[in-house]
Amino acid sequence: MLELPNPFANEGGVIRLLEPPGGDTEALLDSVLAKRYAKPFVIEDDGARCLYFTRDFIQSEMRLDDPCELAFAYTRKMMAFLLFLPQPRSILMLGLGGGSLARYCHRHLPAARITAVEIDPHVIAFRDQFLLPADGERFRIVQADAAEFVARCGDRPEVVMVDAFDRDGVAPTLCTREFYQALRALLPRKGLAVANLVGPKAERVAHLEMLRTVFDGNVILLPIADDGNYVAFAFRDPAFEPRWRWMEDEAKAMRARYGLDFPRLAQRLERSRKLGFLRREMHAPEVRTRRL
């Protein structure tokens, strides 16, 4: 791994590239600045270590003083699946990035077996930079295409977390009805999928339509204000109905246990369900992300 001064103007810290020492560092940095560099890279500055595919967007951020903190709002909202399944025994993560969700779940859910699937070996090569545990009984990283892995997976994970992106957006193999059908078939009856959706409205609506159809309409949608993301919760059991009263009380204990605002998450989930937010968003014009 090659460490160099951060080349971006008015910034400090260092950049780390998956390159051997002794190469043409000036040409490498020029390719990073010109967005021609084909591999992911890491920038460490101001107490944070961040993964990038291009400098336009941060893929993952890890605070060095609290590596398990969930820095991005959408990751905190994805953890709201615990309100529906408080003690998962197995979690499948599609997409690794800098491992924010993997680190958090490994720390806070010791009874869960976690498998993270990542297609890009260069992303996996940064696992030590992002303090991910070694492969073992509780945690493993598999290099594979997420859609192919789901189609041939022999396990039945109770929770599947979909957060798989390349430098152009949502991974193309996850943009099909066949993927969502295989995903639903993979889940046990009480299982659920939680997906981070981002991109142009037409793309988001296409994913939501596939989720709604494949999961028999049993989907709850949360917007991420100011980020343009949506988090969708899709339930394998078409008859599943959240226990809202139980959730209201349990959320307070979960806030103390996990350090996330579960009472607020529970309120927003219930409001989204009762107001039909999924249906409204699928038919609404493109506007700034709504708040619930």
Give 186's contacts (C-beta < 8 A, 6+ positions apart): 92, 150, 153, 155, 156, 157, 160
> What is the Cα–Cα distance from 280 to 266, expressed in whole angstroms?
20
**Eight-class DSSP state of 65:** T
Active site (annotated) includes residue 163: yes
> What is the Cα–Cα distance from 50 to 60, expressed in whole angstroms?
6
Judge residue 40's burial from the number of C-beta atoms within 10 Å of its C-beta, 0-12 exposed, 13-18 middle, 19 or more buried: buried
Give the residue ranges of DSSP H helices in the chain.
25-33, 73-78, 100-108, 121-124, 146-152, 177-186, 201-214, 244-258, 262-275, 277-283
Which residue is catalytic, options 46, 65, 120, 163? 163
Report the sign of the C-alpha dihedral through residues 270, 222, 86, 67, in that order: negative
Give 29's contacts (C-beta < 8 A, 6+ positions apart): 4, 7, 15
Active centre residues (catalytic)? 163
